[in-house]
Structure 1
Amino acid sequence: MVFARLAPTARSKALSLLHTVQFTHPPTCPCHAPTHPFVASAPSLLNAARSLATPIGSQKEYAFEMAASSIRFGPGTTREVGMDFANMKAKKVIVITDKTIERLAPMWTAVSALESAGVKYEVFSDVMIEPKDHSVKKAIQFGKQAKGDSYLAVGGGSVMDTAKMVNLYNNFPEADFLDFVNAPLGKGLPITKALSPLICIPTTAGTGSETTGTAIFDLANKKVKTGIAHRALKPTLGICDPLNTRSMPPAVRASSGLDVLCHALESYTAIPYSERIPCPTNPILRPAYQGANPISDVFSFKALQMTVKYLPRAVHDPEDQEAQSQMLLAATLAGIGFGNAGVHLCHGMSYPISGGNKGYKHNGYQVDHPIIPHGVSVAVTAPAVFKFTAASNPERHLAAAEVFGVDISNARAENAGELLSDALKEFLRELGDQPKGIKELGYTSSDIQGLVEGTLPQRRVLMLAPKLDEDLERQKGELIKLFEDSLEY
């Protein structure tokens, strides 16, 4: 009726526009191609609808989804968490933290807020930093015995990831631990129902776990990191209170920030979502890590800019509260970016590096066991990785190099990788006290084959790596070269 009322000139223009939309959209776009039922001619509608009922299976992806937790950002917002759970009608909250955070102000503030709101709670404080499967199972068992209906994580990525898995397995009490773990190390089953409320309060500026549906841990018997990735895991709310990151030691601040750096760079340079194969046969099978897309790009690139600007200040000046606050925000922005686009080689290679630790203990970490912090394990391969991936998209790698201060006005595409690699090396040197290659972590050339074998099962991230060969044998050769180039620089 509205169309019929248009003046003849306007109607003619509208018809012309519709004709253009119908017949000039690229045929590779399944939602707008002439064969799609919404733009096809009327006689073909039934046949097109029937064709959509056939599993897509092998064609390239044509859509992306954006999912992130609700975020509340601001100094002092931790004091609101009791009211949040009261508003949710929580009967009993399981509070998950670690032994260090248990003694610090963020935990006191959170617990006081619960008590003020009259919310019952029980605390589990035995989270292991860089958690292993046995420590996660211990937390899951605690949750089953405590019988809470809501969860609160106060801590860094290890705490938040552990809380996600406690929430998951307490909602699926009969599940085997490997049921939801990423294939091929686990079964990679989809999560088929909503989980209980989970609020995360980060105390480090790094993982962005308060925004994502990802939880990472060490599979001890395989000596490799793996995890669970599904949108259902994402917290109900992330409370990002800059006051909570002020107690971070410089070493923790540095390694956490390096995780932000690699989250941003990897998600910005991941393969485009439209290049991922296969397209899922059902939306529930669309992975959390989908490839770079126009929305994730905004978050990832902004997080990169902020990290390059503020991380050195935050590490070198413990009184620089502006830098600390901005790094917490950068971590959250990067979390939204990589939580949807995904990460690739730095993270895929990092899992066997940290999982196969021979005894390295990073300076500044007050723990009683060997530890390669996650941010260190991802950053140590970054110069080699981005030199390798640059040929896939020189423009993006040059744009990243420019963020580090590189003059790219006369740069050639073939030099993009070297320029970004050198910029990363200089950034790591200026940050201070960072291992200059995996050799300083205790690895030698004789370990490379094992590191490669530990990387290959990380399919959910390797599939997003630009330029990595799809042939397994050639892929092994590329990974060997990347680890060799990462020995020292």
Structure 2
Amino acid sequence: MSAAVRVAQTSQASIKSLISLMNKSCTCPAHSNARRILQNNNNTSGTDATSKHHHHTKDCSHHSHDDAEHDYAFEMASSTMRIGEGVTREVGQDLVNMKAKKVLVMTDSNIAKLPVMKTVIESLKANNVPFVVYDKTRAEPTDQSFMDAIAFTKEHRPDVFVAVGGGSVIDTCKAANLYFNYPDADLLEFVNAPIGKGSVITKDLSPLIAIPTTAGTGSETTGTAIFDYEPLHVKTGIANRKLRPTLGIVDPLNTRTMPSQVKIASGLDVLCHALESYTALPYYERTPRPANPAERPAYQGSNPISDIWSLEALKLTVKYLARSAKDPLDMEANSQMCLAAAAAGTGFGSAGVHLCHGMSYPISGLNKTYKHPEYNVDHSIIPHGISVAVTAPAVFRYTGEACPDRHFKAAEIFGADLSKVRKGESAGPLLADQLTKFLENLGVPDGIGALGYTKADIPALVKGTLPQHRVTKLAPLSTGAEALEKIFEDSMKNY
């Protein structure tokens, strides 16, 4: 069966599932859950609030819309996507269609030497598109590397951007586009609160075409740009729909040159995007309800449409990640992982992520000495996908009680036999066990201890997680300092 037929069948099944959901009297995701535990949004002391069960027995119109504090709607937003082997060579024609006068092609020093950049440059030249190249983006970008790219952009004043690379390159290009169009803004103006001001982006930005070379971040579909804010030794980011690329060109041929460890790290980001968005707080339990639709955040909580994308991404990743990492020329596996990354990006681009990502930011930001194998960089680095995955078993062991049926469903996708689940057995530990086996089989470092952290570092890791409100408040149950400390302790060693 061809890949195109498989994708078509998957799309048909997804459409049928969505129609089925919409035909029910209530389409909110919690009606498939046994229970949800509400977040206590007054938990400002950094300690755990008392969890409270929330049983859904009425139609959404009764239990959500009358509550002036909680949101009652969700929005779907994603970039236009073009997916197929060889589509990179079309980018020159796209730029002609956009009437581009001067293009900034952004990449990094490694990708600049690879076939994908040769294809891009040849396409631009063949279509007589004027361009300039910036090849100094940093793997796991920082506030300073963002500023360097922004300065280059202001000097050359492009009218269209093309990002060629992984999430680091695409995120850097988004930031350059943003601050080129807001030339007087301070870097922290749009950075997520409480680290930055979190101002709303109101201008339409310049067109941006994203050509991913990894199957992981889904940055080609989302309005998010992540970086290390070095003054606080923590990751943070900018999140707004205006940042979304105009077009994502997803070409599986561009992932053939990824080293095995890069494929694994990128794929684990897909895995956690899918799991976290599927188990996130439902959109109608999120507070506060925006006073203006423009203020509704990019990350809104799980919803019926994001669920479809997230589950499909999870299935594809479980099936194809190991194959893709093992054989760089396995084009079926490469293609399916590209689809998984795009699907997960569409899902979490609406629903958001929660604890794995929130806790990953200080894990990466506080790293001083660890350098992951097969990353050709001149600095210490814990790849984003690794920093996210090492806490996943402990995170989902913790969140299982909030929405057990969703955790059981995810465990089943990993291979758990639910017919053998004993009455009263907890969903969290079952999913955690499946995740642990999956990570161990991929050779992922054994917990945060293997990344150089000790129990003495946990207070700093907790401190670095607490300000990540954009994602931690989407956890399906209230999570303060005490719970975070326990999750970090449980993540010291996984195997």
Same fold per superposition (TM over 0.5):
yes
Q: What is the CA distance between 1:317 and its match in structure 2?
A: 2.1
Quote the residue 1:482 is aligned against. Answer: 487
Larger radius of gyration: 1
* Aligned residue runs from structure 1 range 231-380, under 5 A: 231-380=241-390
Question: Which segments of 5 or more consecutive residues in structure 1 lack a partner in the other structure?
Answer: 1-19, 34-55, 470-474
Q: Tell me, in whole angstroms, the C-alpha distance in 1 between the residues paired with 2:410 and 2:119.
A: 39
Quote the residue 2:35 is aligned against. Answer: none
The answer as to whether partners of 2:64 and 2:284 remain within 8 angstroms in 1 is no
Q: Tell me, in whole angstroms, the C-alpha distance in 2 between the residues paired with 1:25 and 1:219.
A: 44
CA RMSD of aligned residues (A): 1.5
* CA displacement, residues 324-358 of structure 1 (integer Å, 9 cap, x when unaligned): 11101100000000111000000000000000002
Q: What is the CA distance between 1:409 and its match in structure 2?
A: 1.6
What secondary structure sits across from 1:258 in the alignment?
Answer: helix
The answer as to whether partners of 1:347 and 1:461 remain within 8 angstroms in 2 is yes
Question: Which segments of 5 or more consecutive residues in structure 2 lack a partner in the other structure?
Answer: 1-24, 27-57
What secondary structure sits across from 1:487 in the alignment?
Answer: coil
Q: Tell me, in whole angstroms, the C-alpha distance in 2 between the residues paired with 1:431 and 1:320.
A: 17
Q: Tell me, in whole angstroms, the C-alpha distance in 2 between the residues paired with 1:213 and 1:269.
A: 21
Q: Tell me, in whole angstroms, the C-alpha distance in 1 between the residues paired with 2:412 and 2:424.
A: 13
Q: Tell me, in whole angstroms, the C-alpha distance in 2 between the residues paired with 1:176 and 1:132.
A: 15
- What amino acid is the match of 2:242? A
The answer as to whether partners of 2:257 and 2:328 remain within 8 angstroms in 1 is no
* Aligned residue runs from structure 1 range 78-97, under 5 A: 78-97=88-107
* CA displacement, residues 384-437 of structure 1 (integer Å, 9 cap, x when unaligned): 0000001000000000000010001242454211110010010011112x1111
Q: What is the CA distance between 1:468 and its match in structure 2?
A: 2.3
- Paired residue for 1:187, among 191, 197, 221? 197
Give yes or no for the alignment of 1:209 onto 2:190.
no
The answer as to whether partners of 1:362 and 1:371 remain within 8 angstroms in 2 is yes
- What amino acid is the match of 1:291? G
- Paired residue for 1:107, among 100, 108, 117? 117
The answer as to whether partners of 1:231 and 1:288 remain within 8 angstroms in 2 is yes
Q: Tell me, in whole angstroms, the C-alpha distance in 1 between the residues paired with 2:205 and 2:328.
A: 38
Q: What is the CA distance between 1:364 and its match in structure 2?
A: 1.4
What secondary structure sits across from 1:439 in the alignment?
Answer: helix
Q: What is the CA distance between 1:254 and its match in structure 2?
A: 0.4
The answer as to whether partners of 1:76 and 1:243 remain within 8 angstroms in 2 is yes
Quote the residue 2:17 is aligned against. Answer: none
Quote the residue 2:6 is aligned against. Answer: none
- Paired residue for 1:28, among 54, 59, 62? 62
Q: What is the CA distance between 1:111 and its match in structure 2?
A: 1.1
- What amino acid is the match of 2:365? G
The answer as to whether partners of 1:68 and 1:234 remain within 8 angstroms in 2 is yes
User: Which one has more relative contact order, counting CA pairs under 8 Å at least 6 apart?
Assistant: 2
- Paired residue for 2:71, among 55, 61, 86? 61
What secondary structure sits across from 2:150 in the alignment?
Answer: helix
Quote the residue 2:426 is aligned against. Answer: 415
Q: What is the CA distance between 1:66 and its match in structure 2?
A: 0.2
- What amino acid is the match of 2:413? V
Identity among equivalent pairs (%): 60
Q: What is the CA distance between 1:29 and its match in structure 2?
A: 5.8
